[in-house]
Amino acid sequence: MLIFANHNYFSESLSKFVENFNIMKKITVSLFVLSFIMFSCKNDKTEGQEKEIDTSVEKTQEVKQITLTKFEGSPKFEEASISLEKANVGELDSVANVDFKFAIQNYQLGEQTPTAEENGLANSAKGQHIHFILNNMPYHAYYESEFSKEIPEGNHVLLAFLSRSYHESVKNAFLVTNLKVGDSDVEPADLTAPHMFYSRPKGTYKGKDTEKLLLDFFLVNTEISETGNKVKATINGEEFLITEWVPYVIEGLDKGELTIRLQLIDSKDNLIEGPFNDVTRKVTLE
Residue ranges and CATH numbers for the domains of the chain are 68-285 (2.60.40.10)
pLDDT of residue 182: 84
Cis status of the peptide bond prior to 152, with omega within 30 of 0: no
The amino acid at residue 256 is G
pLDDT of residue 146: 95
pLDDT of residue 90: 62
Separation CA 67–CA 253 (nearest Å)? 9
The amino acid at residue 71 is F
Separation CA 104–CA 173 (nearest Å)? 9
pLDDT of residue 132: 98
CB 84 within 8 A of CB 173: no
Query: Cα angle vertex 110, ends 150, 157, to 5°?
Result: 35
Separation CA 23–CA 15 (nearest Å)? 12
CB 104 within 8 A of CB 145: yes
CB 187 within 8 A of CB 154: no
pLDDT of residue 185: 82
Predicted TM-score (pTM) of the model is 0.77
Handedness of CA 248, 251, 256, 262 (dihedral sign): negative
CB 80 within 8 A of CB 172: yes
pLDDT of residue 202: 98
pLDDT of residue 33: 44
pLDDT by residue for the chain (286 residues), tens only, comes to 434 444 444 445 545 544 554 555 554 545 454 454 454 544 444 444 444 433 333 333 344 599 999 999 999 999 999 999 865 566 677 676 888 999 999 999 999 999 999 999 999 999 999 999 999 999 999 999 999 998 888 899 999 999 999 999 999 999 999 998 888 888 899 999 999 999 999 999 999 999 999 999 999 999 999 999 999 999 999 999 999 999 999 999 999 999 999 999 999 999 999 999 999 999 999 9
